[in-house]
Chains A and B, each alone.
Chain A
């Protein structure tokens, strides 16, 4: 039995989702016989961790501070073993622009894009480039904040006139945004879980929005709003290709223990990686637990495996 601190909540916009992930993880850890301390992450985080002296921290945080390497850095300094990817992988994966550049360099398909900071518009006259960008990406285009994990702030621009308002919205969440060619098609997610023989891709999940024309923030976290098909029914070879891309992405970013890679499958059967999530949701409606289940790993086993991997990494780490 170990003493495990479950880090959850925090100040990120995904606080509620994280609280749900955290609560579910706590239950699982208790069923596994651990001594569990839930910590709603705030200014007293360091003090709490010093008081509680946990054997490991289960990071069930999503979004800013929790998923972007910030908390991971603090845990490194404190010497507390923690679950999931390390500082570098978190930093890479939560920066969509950086991720996409790395993907391109590695030859992993990702939709064409351009990225800008507010400064580029304010100080470098980037607005004059917008018509040229629009021409090169084809409408509709997707405008999204670079660093926001969920679908918050993601807008469709159907015409060039939609672009400025979509940019204003995306800049509400991050100082950097990206404009991306919209890939119309099927919404797939492949979760990756490290095992004895290295990372393994779990069965592919397809998200099918029931009403909305876009798998939005609401649909993503609500029971009943989105239909999930797992394993996704795909043409022969497509599943393997999607899983291969997810594994390549997981390795490329240096993710550890688990991750979820979101992809689009277009009409012609081409796959594109949209983004990778170093701490995907662990709620009842989340995709990783569904995929694990379809792969024969129930939630308790999933949580147990993730914890073991954290302890292994800590044990094997050079002093």
Chain B
């Protein structure tokens, strides 16, 4: 049969069924969303996006970048282009040890695995510990990027409320007790203790101590996610949970994303040896090893420059941006709004009256070319609809102020409309300065049954 046969025409029929029936059941919870579609529009250049979690990489000196890459080309070209060990290069681990020491932690090289960004740590830890239906405890709100990971492994996530001192460890204990009565025990507790994403609050030292005690007494693992610990703009540093616990029950997630570059995709995990061994196997299966080139860039950079200087310069820039955003919030947000005052990190969490849904508000705000992350993205239990996460690291101060002004206008419009609809006197008064905000301010989280209508302030 030498005559060339026409390949059968590719049928387009039943596209949906053809692929959908091949999907694993976990994809049922790996979902896109209206919010994701809205967020896609925020990437347009004319939009002032306070939505991302982007560090300002334009602050990194290009000449340093050039000399770092030149050094690699001269000294370790073949190695940089080659595979590396799954757990990471020893040279990189030396840099990691240095960063951890800066926050009072000590970790041995054999207790670390270098990962492809901090995000991979969340994935690997969840993969290692979670069977479908297993419980993870997280803060409410929690890091929006952890939500799809927990979903993909079909975890049952229980979120514990926070206040200005971070996770309410008393509520955590109550939650653990009530889970225990159901015969359930969480596999791990996920927390961002310092300058939490998205709430911006920091766990107090007594709560840190208590959390470590609880983990020890109840034999629970904690995943401490600490991307921003070194980005502190005021106050004294607090010891990481890992330092308090010594790495017995606390697994530590670190990253170079916020102190150097997210583009190099370099993070790490420190965990007890039996857990780390499984994480290592999981990593091998996921991507064999983290980019050798990135790892050598970090090493070369640490040799050539003082990384602390760069973190110091970032701290100056971000402190000033945080202050600008706080000023703008006080000036432009109506008195019905409240927000946190972070002592570090990248985010402010603002909460609006319960009758405003921030996903819908985002659709309205996008018409005025400004964006934020709707609070619902930080919850798995349907809360957060009246809150928003605002990032202050990614834009310069003029754009930050203008972005907050535009969001403030849209909120005021909705507050006034609601007042009109309910026949209540509009409570918006532009000339009233923002509510006085202090470090001890509560993170107000929306509660589902809440329907707090405010009488007019006139």
- Chain A residues in the interface with B (C-beta under 8 A): 11, 13-17, 28, 31, 118, 121-122, 127-128, 130, 150-153, 161, 163-165, 167-173, 210, 216-218, 221-225, 228, 284-285, 289-290, 293, 298-300
Given contacts A127-B421, A173-B363, A299-B12, contact A168 B356 (CB under 8 A): yes
- In the complex, given contacts A16-B36, A31-B9, A165-B356, what are 19 additional A-B residue pairs having Cβ atoms less than 8 angstroms apart? A14-B37, A15-B41, A28-B12, A31-B10, A31-B12, A118-B417, A122-B417, A127-B423, A151-B34, A152-B363, A168-B360, A172-B363, A216-B34, A217-B34, A221-B32, A223-B16, A225-B28, A293-B13, A299-B15
Decide if A300 touches B34 in the complex (CB within 8 Å).
Answer: no
- Which residues of B are found within 8 Å of A118, using beta-carbon distances? 417
Q: How far is the CB of B23 from chain A (nearest CB, A)?
A: 6
> With A164-B421, A168-B421 given, is the CB distance from A173 to B41 under 8 Å?
no
Interface residues of B in 10-43 (CB under 8 A from A): 10-16, 19-20, 23, 27-28, 31-34, 36-38, 40-41
Complexed CA–CA distance, A246 and B298 (Å) = 63
The smallest C-beta distance from B35 to any residue of chain A, in angstroms, reads: 9
* 14 A–B pairs (Cβ distance < 8 Å), ordered by A: A14-B37, A15-B41, A17-B37, A127-B421, A153-B360, A165-B357, A165-B418, A168-B360, A168-B414, A217-B33, A223-B16, A223-B20, A284-B16, A293-B13
Q: How far is the CB of A27 from chain B (nearest CB, A)?
A: 8
Q: How many Å from the CB of A176 to the closest CB on chain B?
A: 14
Kindly report which residue of chain B lies nearest to residue A163, judged by CB atoms: B421
Interchain CA distance A317-B194 in the complex, whole Å: 67
Shortest 7 CB-CB contacts between residues of A and residues of B: A165-B355, A299-B12, A164-B421, A172-B364, A172-B360, A217-B34, A169-B360
User: Contacts of A17 on B, CB cut-off 8 Å?
Assistant: 37
Contact A121 B355 (CB under 8 A): no
**Contact B31–A218 (Cβ < 8 Å):** yes
Please report B residues at the A interface, Cβ cutoff 8 Å: 9-16, 19-20, 23, 27-28, 31-34, 36-38, 40-41, 44, 354-357, 360-361, 363-364, 366, 414, 417-418, 420-423, 451
Interfacial chain B residues near A31, Cβ < 8 Å: 9-10, 12
Instruction: Tell me which of B37, B361, B417 contacts A121 (CB under 8 A).
Output: B417
Q: In the complex, which residue of chain B has the Cβ closest to the Cβ of A173?
A: B363
* Contact between A218 and B33, CB atoms less than 8 A apart: yes
Which of B10, B19, B32, B363 is A284 in contact with, Cβ under 8 Å?
B19
Contacts of B38 in A (CB 8 A): 13
Q: Which residues of B contact A170 (CB under 8 A)?
A: 360
In the assembled complex, the CB of A127 is this many whole angstroms from the nearest CB of chain B, namely 5
Structural contact, B27 and A224, CB atoms closer than 8 A: yes
- Which residue of chain A is the closest to B33 with respect to CB atoms? A218
Measured between alpha carbons, how far is A210 from B28 in the docked complex, in Å?
10
Q: Nearest CB to that of A148 among chain B residues? A: B363
The answer for the CA separation of A121 and B14 in the assembled complex, in Å, is 48
Q: In the complex, A163 Cα to B421 Cα: how many Å?
A: 9
Bound together, the chains give a CA A298 to CA B16 distance in angstroms of 12
A298 and B418: CB pair below 8 A? no
In the complex, the answer to whether A173 meets B360 with C-beta atoms within 8 Å is yes
- The CA-CA distance from A216 to B34 in the complex, in Å, is 9
User: How near does chain B come to A200, taking the closest CB pair, in angstroms?
Assistant: 19
With contacts defined as CB atoms under 8 Å apart, how many contacts are there between chain A and chain B in the complex?
112
Q: Is the Cβ of A223 less than 8 Å from the Cβ of B37?
A: no
CB pair A284 B28 closer than 8 Å: no
CA distance A225 to B16 in the complex (A): 12
Which one of B15, B366, B422 has the greatest number of beta carbons of chain A within 10 Å? B15
A161 touches B451 (CB 8 A): yes
Set of chain B residues within 8 Å of A150, measured between Cβ atoms: 34
**Residues in B neighbouring A15, C-beta threshold 8 A:** 37, 40-41
In the bound complex, do residue B12 and residue A122 qualify as a contact, i.e. CB atoms below 8 Å apart?
no
- The interface residues of chain B lying within 8 Å CB-to-CB of A171 are 414, 417
Contact A224 B23 (CB under 8 A): yes
The answer to whether A168 and B418 touch (CB under 8 A), given A225-B31, A284-B15, A299-B15, is: yes
- Bound-state CA distance A223–B29 (Å) is 11
A91 to B28, CA, bound (A): 37
CA distance A13 to B366 in the complex (A): 9
- In the complex, how many angstroms separate the beta carbon of A131 from the nearest chain B beta carbon? 10
The smallest C-beta distance from A217 to any residue of chain B, in angstroms, reads: 4
Quick one: given A15-B41, A152-B363, A164-B355, are A121 and B420 in contact (CB under 8 Å)?
Answer: yes
Whole-angstrom CA separation of A164 from B204 in the bound complex:
39
State whether B16 touches A13 (Cβ < 8 A).
Answer: no
Give min CB distance, A47 to chain B, whole Å.
Answer: 18
Whether A224 lies near B28 (C-beta < 8 A) is yes
CA distance A173 to B38 in the complex (A): 12
For B366, give the chain A residue with the smallest CB separation.
A13
Residues of B within 8 A of A289 (CB): 15
Q: Are B23 and A299 in contact (CB under 8 A)?
A: no
Q: Give the distance in Å from the alpha carbon of A153 to the alpha carbon of B38 in the complex.
A: 12
CB <8 Å contact, B16 and A285: yes
Contact A168 B417 (CB under 8 A): yes
A289→B12 CA distance, assembly (Å): 10
In the complex, are the beta carbons of A164 and B422 less than 8 A apart? yes
Determine the residue in chain A with the shortest Cβ distance to B11. Answer: A298
Instruction: Write the nearest CB–CB distance from A121 to chain B, whole angstroms.
Output: 5
Which residues of chain B come closer than 8 Å to A11, judged between CB atoms? 41, 44
CB of A224 within 8 A of CB of B20, answer yes
Known: A173-B360, A290-B16. A152 touches B34 (CB 8 A): yes
**What is the bound-complex CA distance between A121 and B9, given in angstroms?**
58
User: A165 vs B353: C-alpha distance in the bound complex, in angstroms?
Assistant: 10
Q: Is the CB of A218 within 8 A of B15?
A: no
CB distance from A9 to the nearest CB of B (A): 10
Contacts of B16 in A (CB 8 A): 223, 228, 284-285, 290
Other-chain residue from A28, A153, A228, A299 in contact with B363 (beta carbon distance below 8 A): A153
Residues from chain A with Cβ under 8 Å of B354 in the complex: 165
Q: Which chain B residues lie closer than 8 Å to A210 at the CB level?
A: 28
Residue of B nearest to A285 (CB): B16
- State whether A223 touches B23 (Cβ < 8 A): yes
Residue pair B37, A169 in contact (C-beta under 8 Å): no
The answer, among A173, A222, A298, for a CB contact under 8 Å with B32, is A222
User: How far apart are the CA atoms of A15 and B418 in the complex, in Å?
Assistant: 29
Q: State A222–B10 Cα separation when bound (angstroms).
A: 24
Flag if B13 contacts A13 (CB, 8 Å).
Answer: no
Give chain B nearest CB distance to A64 CB in angstroms. 10
In the assembly, what is the distance between CA of A150 and CA of B35, in Å?
Answer: 13
Which residue on A lies nearest to B356, using beta carbons? A168
Complex CA gap A14/B36 in Å reads: 11
Instruction: Give Cα A300 to B23, complex, Å.
Output: 25
Point out which of A17, A168, A225, A293 has the most chain B C-beta atoms below 10 A from its C-beta: A168
Please measure, in the bound complex, the distance between the C-alpha atom of A118 and the C-alpha atom of B414, giving whole angstroms.
11
In the bound complex, residues from chain B placing their C-beta under 8 Å from that of A122 are 417, 420
Q: Cβ of A121 and Cβ of B421 under 8 Å apart? A: yes
Q: When A16-B37, A164-B421, A171-B417 are in contact, do A299 and B360 touch as well, CB less than 8 Å?
A: no
The residues of A that contact B366 with a CB separation of less than 8 Å are 13
Q: Are A218 and B32 in contact (CB under 8 A)?
A: yes
Distance in angstroms from A179 CB to nearest chain B CB is 12
Closest to A19 in B: B40
